[in-house]
Amino acid sequence: MPFVVDRMSFGDVSEVMAIEKDSFTTPWPSNAYKKELGENVNAHYLVLRLASPEHPDQPLYRPAQPERRGFLGGFLLPLSRTRPPLPAPPDVRTMAGYAGLWLVIDEAHVTTIAVRPEYRGKGLGELLLVALTEIALDINARWLTLEVRVSNTIAQALYRKYGFKPAGVRPKYYSDNREDALIMWTDEIHSPAFQDRFMALRADLRERLIQAGELAPFAESLAPQSRRR
Active-site residues: which are they?
147, 159
- Phi, psi for 178 (deg, rounded to 5): 65, 30
CA 91 to chain centre: 24
Distance CA 217, CA 212 (A): 11
Strands (E), the chain: 3-7, 43-50, 95-104, 107-115, 143-149, 165-170, 181-185
Helices (H), 70-211: 124-138, 153-161, 192-211
